[in-house]
A and B are shown apart, each in its own frame.
Chain A
Amino acid sequence: MTRGGRQPHAAPWLFVLPAFAFLIAAVAFPVLYTGVLSFTRWSASATEPPVWIGLGNYADVVFHDSGFRNSLLVTAYFTGVSVVIEVVLGVGLAQLLNRDFIGRGLVRTLLILPVAGTPVALGLVWRHMYNPSNGIMNWLVSGIGLRPQRWLSDVTTVLPSLILFDVWQWTPLVMLIALAAMVALPPEPYEAAVIDGANALQIFFHLTLPLVRPAVAAAAMLRLMDSLKTFDQIYITTQGGPGTASQTLNLYVFEQAFRYLKFGYASALLLVLFVLILASNLILVSLRRSEKA
C-alpha cells in the first residue's frame, strides 16, 4: 500500500469538469445570449447598440414571416422524403449484401466515401453534374430516352434533385448500420424458418426486419437529426434558390443573420429553430424509450 491510497473518492467530478465548463461557455452562454438578443433590433453594428423591442421579433416570426413559413415547409419536405427513401433503400440494399462475397472490406470502404467526403467538394461535383447545358445528368437521362431536365435551376425539380444528392450521400450509412445488425443475428431462427418452408420474402419481412428494427430505428433517428442540420450541400449547390424554393430553415436563418445582418430577428428565429429541433429529437428519443420498455 502506497501513500496515495486514500485519495480515490476525491476526484470523479474532476473528470467531467473541463467538458462541463466547455458546455457552459460554448453552448449555454451563447444560447442565453441569443435569447436576450432575440428581444432586440440590431444590425450587428459596433457603434449602434441593440434596441429593445420586447416580443416584436417573435410576433413577426409567427404572424408575418412568409419566408419562415416557406422554409418550414421546405425543411419538412426535404427531410421527410430523403430520410424515408434512405431508410427503405438502405435496408433493402443491406439485405442484398447480407451474404458472403469476395471483397467485402473493399465494398465497405467504398461505401463510406460518400459519407466522409468533403461536402463542399461533393456539392461542387453534383452542381456541375446537374448543369442543364453540359452536365452529365442530362446526358444520362437522354440516354434512357427521357427529356433533359433543368434540375437545380427549376422551382419544381430543385428539391427532388437535392433529395437525390442527399440520398446518394447518406443511404450507404443506413445500409452499413443495417448490415452490421443483420450480420450479428443468430442463425437458429433462420434454420427453423427454412425447415418450416418460409420463402425469402417471408423470412425478410417476418424475421429479419423485426430483429433489426432497433438498429434501423437508430439509423433513421440519426438521419433525421443530421438531415435537419443540412447546410453545406444546399448552400453550395443552390444557396436556397431558385428564389426560395430550396431554402431550408438553416439557410433562411443564415441569410437573415449574415446577409441582411438582422441579428436581433435572426436570434428569435434561431431560438425557434433550437426549440423545434430539440423538441422533435426529444419526442423521438422518448418514443423509442417507451417502445423499448
Chain B
Amino acid sequence: MKQLRALGRGLAFYTGLFLVLGVFVFPFFWMAFNSFKTTEKLQEYPPVWVFTPTLSNFREVFGQTPFIRYALNSTIVALGAVGLGMVLALPAAYGIARYGYRRLAVGILVCRMIPGVCFLVPWFIVFRVLGLIDTYLGLVVAHLIITVPLITWIMIGFFEELPAELEEAALIDGCSPWGVFLRIALPLTRSGLASAAILALIFTWNHFLFPLILAGPKTKTLPVVVYSFMTFDELNLGAVYAAATLITVPVVLMVLFVQRHFVRGLTIGGIKG
C-alpha cells in the first residue's frame, strides 16, 4: 500500500514535470515542425498535424536571399563584439575584483539597465558623421554595450573566487600585476571565460535593435533578415518559419555548451547590484 502510494506520487510528479516542460518547449517544437510545412498547409485551420514534410521553405530562404552571407555577417559581428569585449572587460573585471574600483562596476551595471534605444539616437547621429553606418566596425562597437557589461560582471565573480595567495606569491616572486593577470588569473578561470564568451555570443547573435538601425544592405545580420521575411507576412509564412528555425539552431547548440553556467551568468549583476 505504501509502495503503491509512492509510485502514484512519482507518476503524478513526472506527469506534472512533463506538462510544464511541454508548455515551455512547445513553441520551439512548433517552430521546427512548421518549417517543414508548405505555406498553404500553414494557413489551414485547424492546424495540420500530419503532412508530407518538405524542404521547400529552406530552399526558398537560401534561394531568395544571400542567407549564408547574412549568417556570415552575424558571425563576424558577434565574434568581433565578443573578442573586443573581452579585451575591454577582462582587465576591468580583474581590476574590480582585485583592486576594488566599485564605481566602475556600477557604471558598467548602468549600461545593463539602460534600454538600447537610449544609446541608439546619439550613436546613429555620430555614426553617420563618422561613416560607420552599415560597417562591421560600427556594429561591433555598438554591440560592445551588450558584451562588455555581461563579460565584466560574470568575470568579477570568477576572479573573486580565485585564492589571492597564489597571486600574492607570484607578485612577491617578481611577477608584474599584468603578468599575474595574464599568466595566472586568466588560465585559472578558463571555464568561466568560456561561458562568458558563449553567453555574450548568444546575446549578440540574438540582438535585433542595433542592426535594425545601424546595419545596411552590406552588413545586415540575421535577426533583421528574419524580420524582413515577416514583413511580407502571411504570403511567405513557410520561409518565415524556416528562417526562424535556422537562426535558432546555433543558439540551441551554444546553450548545450554553457548550460551549467547560464543562470549564474545572467544573474550576476542582478544579485550583486
**A→B interface (CB under 8 Å):** 1-5, 7-8, 11-16, 18-20, 22-23, 26-27, 29-31, 33-34, 37, 44, 46, 93, 96-97, 99, 101, 105, 107-122, 124-129, 133-134, 136, 138-139, 168, 171-173, 176-177, 180, 215, 218-219, 221-222, 225, 228-229, 231-232, 235-236, 250, 253-254, 257-258, 263, 266-267, 270, 273-274, 277-278, 281, 285
Contact = CB atoms under 8 A, between A and B. Distances in A.
Contact of B118 (A29, A34, A99, A136): A34
Contacts, number: 276
B99 A15 contact: yes
Interface centre among B30, B87, B123, B270 (most CB of A within 10 A): B270
Given A16-B95, A96-B16, A129-B30, A219 B122 contact: no
B14 to A, nearest CB: 7
B56 interface: no
30 contacts: A3-B174, A11-B177, A13-B99, A16-B96, A19-B148, A26-B123, A26-B141, A29-B122, A109-B259, A110-B21, A110-B25, A111-B21, A116-B254, A116-B255, A117-B248, A120-B206, A121-B245, A124-B241, A128-B34, A128-B237, A133-B45, A168-B24, A168-B27, A180-B264, A221-B270, A222-B270, A236-B208, A250-B115, A270-B121, A277-B114
Given A93-B20, A180-B263, A218-B267, A139 B46 contact: yes
Interface of B: 13-14, 16-17, 20-21, 23-25, 27-28, 30-31, 34, 42-47, 87-89, 91-92, 94-96, 98-99, 101, 104, 107-108, 110-126, 128, 141, 144-145, 148, 152, 171, 173-179, 181, 202, 205-206, 208-209, 213, 222-223, 226-227, 230, 237, 240-241, 243-245, 247-248, 251-252, 254-256, 259, 262-264, 266-267, 269-271, 273
Say what secondary structure dominates the interface of chain A.
helix
Contacts of B176: 4, 7-8, 11
Residue among A12, A93, A117, A122 with max Cβ neighbours from chain B (10 Å):
A117
Given A26-B141, A30-B126, A172-B24, A120 B247 contact: yes
Given A228-B115, A231-B116, A222 B266 contact: yes
A70 B140 CA distance: 35
A236 to B, nearest CB: 7
Contact of A231 (B16, B117, B271): B117
A254 B213 CA distance: 10
Contacts of A253: 117
A2 B152 contact: no
B113 A19 contact: no
Given A2-B174, A27-B111, A118-B206, A218 B270 contact: yes
A116 B262 contact: yes
B189 to A, nearest CB: 15
Nearest to A102: B14
B208 A119 contact: yes
Nearest to A271: B118
A120 B92 contact: no
A121 B45 contact: no
Contacts of A12: 95, 98-99, 177
A270 B119 CA distance: 9
B181 A15 contact: yes
B115 A231 contact: yes
Contacts of A113: 24-25, 28, 252, 255
B178 A218 contact: no
Nearest to A263: B121
B213 A258 contact: yes
A107 B43 contact: no
Contacts of A46: 128
A177 B121 contact: no
A27 B119 contact: yes
Given A4-B179, A168-B27, A225-B270, 5 more contacts: A20-B104, A27-B145, A118-B226, A121-B247, A257-B124
A11 B175 CA distance: 12
Contact of A173 (B17, B223, B251, B263): B263
